[in-house]
Structures are given as structure tokens and as C-alpha cells.
Chains A and B, each alone.
Chain A
Amino acid sequence: MILLLTDGVPRRVLKLLAGLSLVLLAAPLAASDYLITVLILVLYFAYVGQAWNLMMGFAGQLSLGHALYVGLGAYAAAALYVHFGVGPWLGLWVAMASSAAVGATIGFLAFRFGVGGVYFAILTIAFAEFARIGFDHWGWLGGSAGLFLPVANYARNDILTLRGSPTMFYYVMLTMTAAAFVLCHALLRSRIGYYWLAIRESPDAAQALGIDIFRCKMVAVIISAAMTSLGGVLFAFYYNNLFPEQIFHISRSIELILGPIIGGIGTLAGPIVGAFLLSTLAEGLSEIMRWVGIDLPGIKQVFYGFCLLGVVLFLPDGVWPPLGRWLGLGREEGDRESGEGER
């Protein structure tokens, strides 16, 4: 299986990935508690960004309401835990199923009725807002007062119920992000991966080659929604409180697309690079502000806004493609046996 996945990937890239993995695995040993929480957040955004990227970069559908799936996943798993004592490892299946169902509904409505482009984006926003207000009035899930998970002591790491120290969450998040990366890589080289790229490049030509566009888009939406919801599950068990106003808010949706857009839509490494870059720069900015002594709430968001602006204006493909080329990890390097370059 590993051979199948690494087939065609240049040795340089594999070595780089291996090195990176080692660094990330060892990080908690050297990092401060604060840094670990920052890294958890970075990995979270890398993960959710990757899930969003699947829908946007691979199937070409701009979703500005992805927070919907985060919230659904979070609430599903949290409610099961709070009301029925069902642990997150079982709860996540319900979370994925419900998100997938909602995603499928939105996708179906959109694709069958020909709602595309900007209209689709607005549709996704509308659904997220609908959920935000709806959950605000849903008493059984806590309503606007919020849903709280019982917090156990952190001394013991219980992975079955995801109660534990930040380090435990770090490794869980790291595993999720790595798995997402591998999954997307596998998907891209599979049949549906080729179909998605074809649809993205030219839907007419894709259809003429026998590709069922509706089905492929639906698959992208469903996988994206399910993946995102897992991020929500982790969110719930990490923060232990959920408020509809926050988790479904449009600023969450915008937040999670910043990484992939800045890193590079449609690329594998884009969301991860974007998340790390943004967080590093943001933390740097915070440090400078602390050092200078100015406290400006919202300055991070303004900074993100400018980053987004800069990328859209000057680097429309994102930071990763030129960076990757500069590092010599471009698509020209090919494994001669498989006869195809790394995408």
C-alpha cells in the first residue's frame, strides 16, 4: 500500500516529508505549552482547509459556509456524549453521516438546479446562517447559552473519550492532518481524482469523455463535508463548549478558507503551507504588538485580510506553487518508471 502511494513521488519530496514528520512528531518534547496549543490550532486549520480544498480546488465549488459542517460535527458528537454518554469514537460516525447528508442535500439542490459560482457560495452561506440561528433556538443542544462538555481532570489522558492534555490533542490532530494529506494524495491519483481535475478544467470536455459531472461533484461535496465534520468533533472535545453564534458564524467559514487560498487552491500542500504561514506570521505580529505595547483586538483579522488581498492580487495560485518550484519540488521531476510527474 505504501508503495502504491509513494509510486511516482520524487525522492526529494519523500525525504522532505519524512523529515517534516519527524520534526512534527518530536515537537511536543521541545515546545512550550503555549506553542503546543498554537500548533494544535495550526494543524486544525490545515486539516479543515484541506477538507475545504477538496471541494473548491478539486471540484471547483466555492463554499463559504463550511463552518456548517464543523458545527454539525461538533454538535452531533458533543450531544451524544453529553446526553447519552457515547464516546467520540462512536459519535464521529454520526457526525460524519449527518454532515454528509446535509452536504449531499446542498449539493443536490445546487447541482440539479444549476446553481453555480457565486450563487452557490451564497447558498452555502445561507445554510450556515440558517443553522446558526436554528441552533440558537434548539434547547436540547443548549441553544444560545451553549453546550458544555463535562471536563475531567487533565492529569490522565483518556483517548477513548478524548479527555486529556493538549499534547494528546496535538497527536490526534497531527494524525488527522497527516491522514487527510495522504487521503487527498490517494484520491488525486485515483479515478475520481482525474475526473475532478477534468471537471475543473473543462466540464464540457469532461462530459464528452464519459464523466458524470453530477455524481463526481456530489462525491466531492460529501467527502469534504464528512472530513470537515471530524474537525468539528475534535473542536468540541478540545474546547469543551459550543455556541452556535461562534461555531456557525460566517467569520469561521472565512477563517478556514484563508489557509488554502493563501497556500494554493487545488494543491495538496497548499492548505498546510497556508495554515502554517498564516499562523507564523500572525504570531509574529502578536509578538511585535506585545513588544511595542499596543493591544488591538481584531488586528490579526485585519492582517489576514491584507494577506488574502495580497495573494489574490499578486499570487493568484497561492504561495505554494512558486515556493514549491523554488524548492525544486515542481512537477517536472518525474519517476521514470511510472512516466508521470508529481502533481
Chain B
Amino acid sequence: MPAEIYLNVAVSGLLTGLVYGLMALGLSVIFGVVRIVNFAHGEMMTIAMYLAVALFSAYRLDPLAMLVPIAAVLFALGYVMQRGLINPFINRPEHSQFMLLVAAALIMVNALLIAFGPDARGVQTSYAFASYALGPLIVDATKAYAGLAAVTVAAGLFAFFRYTLIGKAIRACADNYAGALVVGLDVKRLYALTFAIGSACVGACGSMMVLLVDVTPPLGPTYTLLAFVIVITGGLGSMAGALLGGVLIGVTEALGGLLFTPSAKSMFTFAILVVVLLFRPQGLLGKRLT
């Protein structure tokens, strides 16, 4: 096969990977700070995707234009979830919290099934079939925009955590829970905020993802798993790691799909996960957990 095809597929994978990375970023932020494994992550993105679909079919509003409102809705959902459901049980054993979110995920997936039915829904924007040519590269417009949006949101998130007061407060909580309490930070509120931010992240992702794939209710668990694989590969608690992991997985998936069968491409993802879990559990960029 000519080299251009590999290049195109790789770039395509990279752009998709950026969106994956953003999704994983949300998960990483939540885990890094609140220490909760959000098993409902993919399901929340699915909710965002359906929101985008609904807005598009009702008012023909472009998902990317709706990015901020959709993210806001997920922000609210995340805040309520953390405040109402998780915060009161923050001291329960690990698998208890996990189960909480498993239950939430179960409810979300099936509520979506009831509301929207099992058939795939998609969004056909005006630029759905457009593409840009850059020398030998042919890039889908949808992928280009989605990737760009992902990078923008990620950059915004980086800036938030580095430069704003609240961002620093949140990082303080992550680094040292007791210390944060002593210094007078309202940790529970910050936890809720963090979960909300992670959810908003995933909401934004939904707007982008809906341009790339059609949505069905069972997509949720698939993406939750993908987010986990990326976060673990890239390194828990490392924001750059999440993006790196996303790109890695995106490219691997795309190339794997090209070289073998497209439907088997997720198998590589899992192979990577197993290898990482066994040999480098802290991921590529993560800190070694004691």
C-alpha cells in the first residue's frame, strides 16, 4: 500500500485520538483529584452526544457551536452527582464507590435506550463530506474541526489549572487532602467542582465525537473502557499523559484497523492495556503510586 494511505490513516487516527485524549483528560482530572473512578464516564459522553443530536435534529444547530451549552449541562450534572451522590460516601471502601458509578452508568445507558431507542443516530453537518488537502494529506473536515476543538479545550483546561486560583486550589486538594483542609479549602465543594469540570470536559467531547461516529446507547460502556485504557496508558493523574495516551490509542486503532480487520481494532487497545497494567502500571507519564 502506498505510504500516503498510512500517513492519512495515521493523521486521521491522531485527530480522533485528540478527542479521545480530551475524554480521558476528564477522567484523569476526576481520578487525580477526587480519587474516584468514574465508571459512568462514557455514558455521560453518550448523554452529551444525544443532546447534540437532539439539538441538531430539532434546530439544525451545529454540535461544535453547541459545545459550550452542552458542556454546561454536563457540568451541572457532574456537580449534582458528586455533591449529592458521591461526596457523602467518600470514605467508603473503593469498590463501594465504584459500584455507585456502575449503577449510575446502568441507569444512564438504559434511560437513553428508553428515550431514544436502540437505533444509531448521527449528525450530518454541511461539511460532513468536505475535506482539506495538504500535499499528500487528505484530512476530513469533521476530524480536523473536532481535533482542533479538542486541543483548544485541553489548552483551556491546562491554563485553568495552572493559572487560576481555583485551579490551584483543586491541585492542592489532589496533592494533599489533609493539608488542603488545614489551609481552609472547602474540599467537598472543590471535589464537586472537579467532577463537574471533568464532566464538562466529557460533554465537550460529546459534541466533537458526534461528528465522528453515530451514537447508540451501548456506546457508553465502550467509551468508558477506552477512557480507562488511555488514562492508564498515559498515566493516572497526568494531564499531558491523557492526551498522549489518546493520540497513541487513536493512531494504533486506526493503523491496526488498516493492517488487520477494522472491527478488530479495539483488540489492540486491550492488548496495550494489559501490557501497561503489567509492566508499567503508572503509565507513560504518570507518577509511581506508592
Contact = CB atoms under 8 A, between A and B. Distances in A.
Nearest to A56: B95
B277 to A, nearest CB: 5
A302 B277 contact: no
B277 A123 contact: yes
B99 interface: yes
Contact of B106 (A122, A137, A305): A305
B107 A121 contact: no
A302 B270 contact: no
A297 B113 contact: yes
Interface stretch (A12-20, A109-117, A222-230, A330-338): A109-117
Given A251-B221, A299-B114, A305 B98 contact: no
A64 B109 CA distance: 17
B178 interface: no
Interface residues of B, number: 42
B257 to A, nearest CB: 12
B interface majority secondary structure:
helix
Contacts of B96: 312, 316
A133 B103 contact: no
Contact of A305 (B37, B92, B104, B273): B104
Contacts of B107: 302, 305-306, 309
Contact of A298 (B114, B232, B274, B277): B114
A308 B106 CA distance: 9
Contacts of B279: 113
B3 interface: no
A251 B279 CA distance: 29
A129 B89 contact: no
Interface string A75-119: 000000000000000000000000000000000010001110111
A137 B264 CA distance: 8
Nearest to B231: A122
A119 B95 CA distance: 11
Interface string B260-273: 01011011001101
B277 A129 contact: no
B111 interface: yes
B274 A109 contact: yes
A133 B263 contact: yes
A301 interface: yes
B40 to A, nearest CB: 10
B110 interface: yes
A126 B104 contact: no
A97 to B, nearest CB: 22
A296 interface: yes
A261 interface: yes
Contacts of B111: 298, 302
Interface string A288-317: 000000001111011011101100110010
Interface in B114-155: 114, 118
Given A129-B270, A305-B103, A305-B107, A113 B225 contact: no
Contacts of B106: 254, 301-302, 304-305, 308
B96 to A, nearest CB: 6
B263 A308 contact: no
Contacts of A133: 263-264, 266-267
A130 B270 contact: yes
Contacts of B232: 119, 122
Contact of A122 (B92, B266, B273): B273
B253 to A, nearest CB: 12
B229 interface: yes
A309 B225 contact: no
A121 B225 CA distance: 11
Contact of A312 (B37, B100, B270, B271): B100
8 contacts: A122-B228, A133-B264, A297-B114, A302-B114, A305-B105, A309-B100, A309-B104, A312-B89
Interface of A: 62, 64, 109, 113-115, 117-119, 121-123, 125-127, 129-130, 133-134, 136-137, 250-251, 254, 261, 296-299, 301-302, 304-306, 308-309, 312-313, 316
